[in-house]
Structure formats: C-alpha cells, structure tokens
A = this chain, B = another copy of it.
Amino acid sequence: MNFTSDNAYGAAPEMLEALGAANSGAVASYGEDQLTAQLESTLADVFEHEVVVFPVITGTAANALALSTLVPSHGAIFCHRDAHIATDECGAPELFTQGATLATLEGESGKITPEAIEEAVSHFAIGSVHHSQPAAVSITQASEMGTCYRPDELHAIASVAQRHGMKLHMDGARLANALAFLGCRPAETTWKIGVDALSLGMTKNGALGAEAVVFFRREDVRDFEFRRKRFGHLISKMRFVAAQLLCGIENDRWLAYGRTANALARGLARRLGGISGVEIAYPVEANLVFASMPESLAQKLRLAGATFYDWGPSRNGRRLVRFVTSFAMPQHDIERLCAACT
C-alpha cells in the first residue's frame, strides 16, 4: 500500500509499447526527429493554439528552465508558499535564473488569490535597482494540496499579472488530474486565461519519465533552446521522450489516467472522512488526500503496511498526513487502508 507519491508507480503498458514502436531505424537526434515534430502539432491540436514544445525529463527542469526564460535575474516570482518551486526544488529556480527572488504567498488550500498577489506586489519598489522587480506569477494546477483553480480564478490571477507586466507560468505536473476534475478543455486552463509557459507533466500520469515545457507564443521562447542544452537537459534520443508524451496525449490517455487516480482519491477521502477522529483537510479534487488524524491511527496504518508522508509536525497528538493515489494503484489498496483504520 504505497501512498507516498504518484511517481512511486510505474508506467502505463501503452507507454512501453510506444517506446517499442519508436525504436526502429536511425533518426535525427536531439529533437530533430519526426516524433518530436509530431508532438508539437499534436499539442497544437490539444491546446487549439500554436505551441512551441520542448520535452525534458524532470518537472524541476521544466519549471526552472521555463521560469529562467520568462524572468530576468533581477525578477521576482510570486507563488504559493507551498509551491513545488518554493519548497521541493532545493533552490533550482534561484539557480537557473542566476538569483531571481521567490516571493511566497499564503493562500487557502494551496491556491493563491489575486488579492494576495496584488498585496505582495505593492511592497516592491518598481524601477528601483535595489529591489527585485515583479516579473512572473507561478501557479500549480492541480495545486500541491490537490485542489484545482477554476477558470474564473485563473482569469482573475492572470489579470493581476498582466496589470503589472508579469508573465504567467503554470506548473502542470498534475495538469491531467486537474483537467479530469474540471472537465474543461486544455485551452481553458492555459493560454485562454493568459498562461505564457506551461510545465506539462506526464510522468505522474503514465510515462516513465517525460515532461514538456510548452510556450504559447514563439517570442517567449527567447534563448530557451540554448538554456536547455546548457543545463544538460537536451536529450540525444529525444524520440523516446516524445513517444511517451504522444502516447499519453493520444486517445486522451493522460486524462483517463488522471480520472482514475482522482476517483481513487475521492473514494479514499469519502471512506477516511467517515472514520471518527479523521478530518479531510482540503477539498479532494485531484489525486491527493490530506487527512488529519491521531498519531496513533497513522502509526496503526503504517504497521498495517501503508506508506505515506507526514505533512508538518505533530500537534496535540494529531498529525496531518498525505495520501497520493495513482492510476496504477490497485483499487483494493484503498480498501485495505480503510479496513486497517478500524
């Protein structure tokens, strides 16, 4: 019973088939191949918009490369206090940008608000060389708490960003889960509401290891290709990464994987939430369940063979813990976990 992360699970079988299909003959390397070209046109269809697409291997690389392309070294990036770029990338954004500042914001259930951005921006002295300058907003869809921004929420955030001349970046490591929950078209949660660059994740939803940076305007790409090369992220046999991304997109597989994982999370939350002493901390929209429970119960679950992360320190004998579900997770693990509660 592994609830630690969606990346603890393997790849969808279709992904391995796609790798096999891609493995014939000699092709141009470093992304000059047919599959990588096809990926760009396929994603243009998916997003109903021109896109420029750069496959990479890790989400940290996607985020840090995208942000360092969008913002200058003297820029400030506004994001949620719990955003992956702020808490789980060990300073990669500051490193890649040669010293841009992360300005972190509070926000309920992992989401930032236009008001919080506006307030934070008001503390920056625009035009003063002594201070980093507001340059980008980064939002996570679905958020680190498993909640999803609604299109109108995104629109309001984008308006603030635009008003201050800031770029809008979306960390979409779990975009498939968000799309599955929201039931909206990819365009509606990206370029239509003003996203300039998207870190598109596939690893958590089916791939062995495949992400992509997606730009919606060619002029935003700037020196991205040199940057990707220089940070060591230009993959020689690129077709194998493109093949995974294509496989996930084809037949909306990524959405199906996301839907499966979300459903498992919802089921888990419903059952856990019914147990006395357990409280579900945030709305369960994507594939994450945060539950507050007595330390003793968390301990009991672990003894029963479940693995999951504590989230923050223990308080008054209670602990917030995180359960992540995956499309590849056996359905009966949910049942076994809940059975172990009683």
Q: Which residues of A approach B to under 8 Å, CB–CB?
A: 2, 4-5, 7-11, 13, 16, 19-20, 22-30, 56-62, 64-65, 72-74, 87-92, 94-96, 98-102, 122-123, 129-133, 203, 208-209, 223, 225-237, 239-241, 312-313, 326, 328-329
28 interchain pairs, CB-CB under 8 A: A2-B26, A10-B26, A10-B27, A10-B239, A16-B16, A16-B20, A23-B208, A59-B236, A64-B232, A73-B223, A74-B91, A88-B130, A90-B129, A90-B130, A90-B226, A90-B229, A92-B231, A96-B99, A98-B98, A99-B99, A129-B225, A129-B226, A129-B229, A133-B226, A203-B236, A209-B236, A231-B231, A232-B233
Question: How far in angstroms is the closest Cβ of chain B from A260?
Answer: 15
Contact between B209 and A240 (Cβ–Cβ < 8 Å)? yes
Q: Find A60's partner among B4, B92, B122, B232 (CB 8 Å cutoff).
A: B232
Q: Which of A65, A95, A209 has the most CB of B within 10 A?
A: A95
Question: How far in angstroms is the closest Cβ of chain B from A78?
Answer: 14
Chain B residues, CB < 8 A from A203: 236-237
Interface of A is mostly: loop
Contact between A26 and B100 (Cβ–Cβ < 8 Å)? no
In the assembly, what is the distance between CA of A241 and CA of B203, in Å? 14
Question: How far in angstroms is the closest Cβ of chain B from A49?
Answer: 25
